[in-house]
Structure 1
């Protein structure tokens, strides 16, 4: 034995190895319990977040991230595309519809130049039943086209007349009750080849998007503004077992998620447990914090094995 090399007693080595074995057995004795899964929530701000939507990476359906996520502060659900991130103001799970409110979109009370609005083709979202009102366009707007097709709906031209009664029109350099030949009502079945409402190409200054006129078809100050987006039926895309497991998870107050890279189903429970089944009768012992400590313990012990063998040598 050389001087300076530490020597561990044989009983200490055996005890360390026994602890490692017991720890690993305990870890594997709870089938269906997973570690290292991000925390998923069933609410973001005031909005309930259910499958297929999720609050972040590993939550909901993998097809919806990064298009849908909760803001870092947890107070705003966001819809993100190549043109920006937009607050989601409402969700209808019955009709698979979300309403977004682009910050630079105009309304009757506030008009300003707007950037392009775009959707990502690979995403599961399409335009819903929104009516776009393009403002401060080159006259006559009857000549505006997308993909060579005229886009202005003359049957809804009265909406332009209503928007031209808004005092905010002055901020666009237009006068109240000005001719409506610089306004275009556009109800697109789709956007251009890039998936954009390309205001720059159309040479329009801004747009307002209306999802409902309510009981006030001639009073734009009382319309509901926003962009309606629909998303596709998930049963056609996700594994049926995933959908069934998700229902069981949500019925036990869990949140549906997935475990990259294979995107296998994960049920995230309120007590921090992450399982492959549901949240029924899960032990508080196996919460995320406990599992993280357990992983740290295993990692630390793994360093002691070679030291123990070195001491024996």
Structure 2
């Protein structure tokens, strides 16, 4: 064999081995944001991104981050990574400007979410709400009826079939709020037409038009244990990567912006295939070049034999 061929053959073999051992990228590209929301672990923008425990429930669709449960899909409007909470705004939830009859709100028991510290008001209920019980236990907080009186000053109450300034005994501050055995807020069972959830009174406790409306949900840690979370995922994100996982084993994956993915981080991470793509056209897929490189290696060995 010509000695000048040897370096070329070695290069092809090395590239083929590297390609065959590199971590497979998710089917859809992972992003560090969805619309205006920054996306970090345990959340992801699609399959293979973030935590495998969160992926069935949270995804980015048309630049909107949505939480999907058995009762519907809900827009996520805020994430607090410090407090491990998200805020959702169900489209059928009442606010001061828009009141309407609402379907049940629910969470999947298998999901990593549960109700957080929102103030939940049940609206247009059969009076008196002071007698409203679930399994024999009262559910209305009598010390917070002033919130009902304040919310009922909103003219939109007429959309619930009530007169202006309706009696506050048709409203219930549900505390502590909980879901039934189906994981739902069952409004029909409690004989209420709608609900609102107040994420924050802001600085205007007597002006419901300035309240921040939304359902606050707490979430638990992701699909990786503390070692992966503290030592791998944080390092991955610090290096400019995005945390994900490699199906079907769901092993940890650090997705780097150069198109090469590792089980560690993106520091000093060079993709040897990327160089060929730069020369031959960035539109050529990485998977295709893996196949061609292996074919070339096989061809070279056949010629050299």
Q: 2:84 aligns with which of 96, 120, 134?
A: 96
What is the aligned partner in structure 2 of residue 229 from structure 1? Answer: 217
Rg larger for = 1
Q: Is it true that 1:263 corresponds to 2:250 in the alignment? A: yes
Q: Is it true that 1:145 corresponds to 2:140 in the alignment? A: no
**TM-score of the superposition, structure 2-length normalised?**
0.85
After TM superposition, the structure 1 stretch with the greater mean CA deviation from structure 2, 204-213 or 270-279, is: 270-279
What is the aligned partner in structure 1 of residue 269 from structure 2? Answer: 282
Partner secondary structure for residue 216 of structure 2: strand
What is the aligned partner in structure 1 of residue 122 from structure 2? Answer: 134
**Cα displacement string for residues 187-234 of structure 1 (whole angstroms, at most 9, x for unaligned residues):** 335311111111121121110000111211111111110000111144
Q: 2:30 aligns with which of 40, 60, 68?
A: 40
Residue correspondence of structure 1 range 292-311 to structure 2 within 5 A: 292-297=287-292, 301=295
For residues 297 and 84 of structure 1, the distance between their equivalents in structure 2, rounded to whole angstroms, comes to 45
Q: Is it true that 1:53 corresponds to 2:40 in the alignment? A: no
Q: 1:286 to 1:115 in 2, by over 3 A?
A: farther
Partner secondary structure for residue 281 of structure 1: coil
What is the aligned partner in structure 2 of residue 245 from structure 1? Answer: 232
Partner secondary structure for residue 161 of structure 1: helix
For residues 274 and 29 of structure 1, the distance between their equivalents in structure 2, rounded to whole angstroms, comes to 11
**Cα displacement string for residues 16-61 of structure 1 (whole angstroms, at most 9, x for unaligned residues):** xx98x97564232369632343321111100001011111111111
What is the aligned partner in structure 2 of residue 28 from structure 1? Answer: 17
For residues 198 and 187 of structure 2, the distance between their equivalents in structure 1, rounded to whole angstroms, comes to 17
Q: Is it true that 1:160 corresponds to 2:148 in the alignment? A: yes
Partner secondary structure for residue 129 of structure 1: coil
For residues 53 and 65 of structure 2, the distance between their equivalents in structure 1, rounded to whole angstroms, comes to 16
For residues 196 and 56 of structure 1, the distance between their equivalents in structure 2, rounded to whole angstroms, comes to 26
What is the aligned partner in structure 2 of residue 62 from structure 1? Answer: 52
Unmatched runs of 5 consecutive residues or more in structure 2: 1-7, 278-283
Residue correspondences, number: 285
For residues 266 and 21 of structure 2, the distance between their equivalents in structure 1, rounded to whole angstroms, comes to 11
How far apart are 1:281 and its partner, in Å? 2.1
Unmatched runs of 5 consecutive residues or more in structure 1: 1-17, 309-313
Residue correspondence of structure 1 range 183-202 to structure 2 within 5 A: 183-202=171-190
**TM-score of the superposition, structure 1-length normalised?**
0.83
Question: Quick check: 1:36–1:292 contact (8 Å CA) kept in 2?
Answer: no
Partner secondary structure for residue 205 of structure 1: strand
Q: 1:242 to 1:215 in 2, by over 3 A?
A: closer
Q: 2:65 aligns with which of 77, 81, 84?
A: 77
How far apart are 1:283 and its partner, in Å? 2.6
Question: Quick check: 1:118–1:195 contact (8 Å CA) kept in 2?
Answer: yes
